[in-house]
Amino acid sequence: MNKIILENDKIIEENLDSSIKYDIFTNDTFGIASLTLEITNDTDLEINYNFKDKTKLETMIIVNKDVNLRLFEKINGEYAKLRTKYYLKENSNVKTSKFNNIKEIKEYTIINLDEENASIEYNLKTISEKEEVYDILTYHNASNTISNINPNGVNIKDGKLKFNVSSFVPNKIVKCDAGQNNKIINLTNNECIINPNLYIDEYDVTANHSAWIGSFNSDELFYLESRGINKKEATKLLIKGFLTNKLEIEETEKENIKNIIDEYWR
């Protein structure tokens, strides 16, 4: 698998083949580092972001015509402002699996489905123990494009988790499919917010969204407790399932995520 490891706004390790072209530079005026990735052939890519200091970073991902990208992103650290922009060309397909393990983050994601038959499945998983705000905007700029946006989070301790998710289909852009599945498991009394928005200016489109905030189903907990599992361990098992579901990653990575979850509930 292709892999990039960043510490704050610097690449400290990369192992990339010819299917990926990249460049990174810092805008001296605004002090924001920008990482550009161009995907030229079918590939898998892992990006590890490690934010030890307060960091501002922009990542641009360009996926060329007829290219399939399976992307796994991991974010670790203290605090970050992160902006990610996707540009998908004709017949390209992206499957993003993203796991965030960071104390505070403001993340702005813009997805541009620029040419026909471009599609993306975007799966975000996060544990929020302080303040996390995610803005995810998907623009269907061409007909016959598909988006499936699935931000999921677990809110704990002093966490305040907010998802602002918007999908746009303008007039005369037809045969599109715009879907959202937004879900927060709130294990606190703190306020969590989901703002799902569909801006659809064309009739010949399939569009839907769901937004759910709450705790785990009492029947699920009862079932596990009836099998001799105490409530704390039952909750942890459900969290592990929730935060690894739909992630298209290796089993070793799923185990790593489960180990991270264990650290929160020791």
pLDDT tens figures, 95-107? 999 999 999 999 9
Q: Scan for tokens 């029947």, then name that residue.
A: 219
Record the pTM.
0.94
pLDDT for residue 30 = 57
Strand 193-200 versus strand 119-128 pairing type: unpaired
pLDDT grade, residue 29 (50/70/90)? low
126-156 tens-digit pLDDT? 999 999 999 999 999 999 999 999 999 999 9
Average pLDDT for the chain: 93
Q: Which two tokens stand for residue 202?
A: 């064309």
So what's the pLDDT on residue 53?
86
For position 64, what pLDDT does the model report?
98
Residue 240, helix vs strand vs coil: helix
Closest CA to 39 of 10, 69, 11: 69
Task: Give residue 73's pLDDT band: very low, low, confident or very high (50, 70, 90).
Answer: very high
Question: What number of helices (H) and strands (E) belong to the chain?
Answer: 3, 15
Question: Which residues, at least 6 apart from 17, have a Cβ–Cβ distance to it below 8 Å?
Answer: 2, 43
**Does position 8 have pLDDT exceeding 80, yes or no?**
yes
3-state SS assignment for residue 36:
strand
User: What is the spatial distance between Cα 243 and Cα 97, in angstroms, rounded to a whole number?
Assistant: 11
Percentage of the chain exceeding pLDDT 70: 97
Note the pLDDT of residue 231: 78
193-241 confidence digits (pLDDT tens): 999 999 999 999 999 999 999 998 887 777 677 777 887 888 888 999 9
Non-local CB neighbours of 103 within 8 Å, separated by 6+ positions:
77, 78, 79, 129, 130
CA distances (Å), origin 177, targets 7, 9, 11, 200, 242:
37, 35, 36, 11, 25
pLDDT band for position 88 (50/70/90)?
Answer: very high
